[in-house]
Amino acid sequence: MKIFNARRLFIICMAVLLLITVGCGQKQRVAATVNGEEISMELFDKRLALVKENLEQQGLSFESDEGKEYEATLREQVLNELIDAALIRQQAEAQGVLPTEDEINKEIEAIKASYPSEKEYKKALNMFYKDEGELYQDILTALAMENLYQKITEDVKEISEEQVREYYQQNKAQFTTPEQLEVRHILFYVNEDENPAIPVQRSEEEAKALAVEVIEELNQGREFAQLAQEKSEDTGTKEEGGIYVFSPQAGMTDPDFARAAANLSKGEYTKEPVRSQFGYHVIKLDKVVPAKEAPFEEVRALIETNLFEQSKQEFFVEFMDDVRDKAEINKEALV
């Protein structure tokens, strides 16, 4: 009996010790406090894991030296985002623009409706949240942000005519469409490495020979557009007779292709096959579209809208910087 009592006492003591340990653990499971509001370590860990998973899918390894070094920065970024979310909710409440429960539930229902079934919705929900309560909080934050932004920036001054004209004069390049070349081309892929992304397997010599054959047919009077529809392997342009419009200044087109096209006169086609990163081309220049500068009146409204929105954003950033500076914030997760 004494042995039983001693054993029971030992179990009770261990249980009490466990409760104390768990209790301490619960207190330590706070990632940060923002003006007394707690951000749980569980939420922080989950958000951090999601961000890391996304980066790993893009090729970053957190086992590498670079990854380990970046993780500390990432932890702070994720925590700061959660802190900012708390500050936004607090300010929205202080300004009287916190979204209602009905508004939040309406957004949740809209999200549910975007999925083909309740099962698919739950599957997506479980990828990012523990439960619908966490989704509720994120929607609350998003709507609070929208409402707070409108409230804080409602008295920002409109942009003057002088400001709009000054911006136009100083940034005319933004409103100028550069010279464009409208060409037609016929492509024959080179694929000696059996790249599965390319629909044919073909050597340099074979592709070049096919391009030479097309040039010979053009020399005999065949229509370029018809040959492009019949023979080009560029599925994005062949149905339109090989039409391709690009700006040499943009640097988005293969440089050898762009150079060959720019050296042509209107109506002329290349007399030798042109090698690009894709294969061999035959190119014809149809038209040169001159650079065009949009007149002030045509872009006036766009400039005014953009400058006004920029002014509001800057004002709101200053407001939130001030809120952050005055807040009592403890970042336990970074200690």
pLDDT of residue 160 exceeding 70: yes
Q: Would you state the structure tokens that stand for residue 44, as one six-digit string?
A: 């922080």
pLDDT digits (tens, 9 = 90+) for 31-43: 999 999 999 999 9
Sorting pLDDT into bands at 50, 70 and 90, what band is 8?
Answer: very low
Contact 273, 280 (CB under 8 A): yes
Contact 254, 278 (CB under 8 A): yes
Q: Under CATH, to which class is 179-290 assigned? A: alpha beta
**Residue 66: its pLDDT value, please?**
87
Domain residue extents for the chain: 2-154+319-334, 179-290
The residues, any chain, with a CB within 8 Å of residue 148's CB and separated by 6 or more, are 88, 91, 92, 95, 97
The three-class DSSP label of residue 114 is coil
Residues, the chain, total?
335
Who wins on pLDDT, 234 or 193? Answer: 234
**Residue 28: its pLDDT value, please?**
52
Contact 225, 242 (CB under 8 A): yes
Q: In what order do the strands lie in the sheet with 37-40?
A: 37-40, 30-34, 329-330
**Residue 23: its pLDDT value, please?**
38
- Per the prediction, the chain carries an average pLDDT of 89
Phi, psi torsion values for 184, nearest 5 degrees: -120, 145
Q: Would you call 57 exposed, middle or buried from its count of C-beta atoms within 10 A (0-12, 13-18, 19+)?
A: exposed
- What span, in angstroms and rounded, lies between the C-alpha atoms of 300 and 165? 8
Can you give the pTM of this predicted structure? 0.67
Q: Would you state the structure tokens that stand for residue 86, as one six-digit string?
A: 């708390």
Sorting pLDDT into bands at 50, 70 and 90, what band is 2?
Answer: very low
- What span, in angstroms and rounded, lies between the C-alpha atoms of 226 and 86? 63
Strand partners, 246: 181
**Residue 237: its pLDDT value, please?**
96
pLDDT of residue 22 exceeding 80: no
Rounded mean pLDDT, 66-93: 94
The listed CATH number (1.10.4030.10, 2.60.40.10, 3.40.50.261, 3.40.50.1820) that belongs to domain 2-154+319-334: 1.10.4030.10
Amino acid at 10: F
pLDDT of residue 174 exceeding 90: yes
Rounded mean pLDDT, 23-29: 50
- What span, in angstroms and rounded, lies between the C-alpha atoms of 124 and 73? 28
Contact 282, 186 (CB under 8 A): yes
Contact 211, 282 (CB under 8 A): yes
Contact 180, 249 (CB under 8 A): no
Amino acid at 8: R
**Side-chain half-sphere exposure of 278, counting CA atoms within 13 A:** 19
Q: Would you state the structure tokens that stand for residue 232, as one six-digit string?
A: 């080009």
Q: Would you state the structure tokens that stand for residue 57, as one six-digit string?
A: 């899918």
pLDDT digits (tens, 9 = 90+) for 228-282: 999 999 999 999 999 999 999 888 999 999 999 999 999 999 999 999 999 999 9
Range of lowest pLDDT (5-14, 191-200, 257-266): 5-14
Amino acid at 110: A
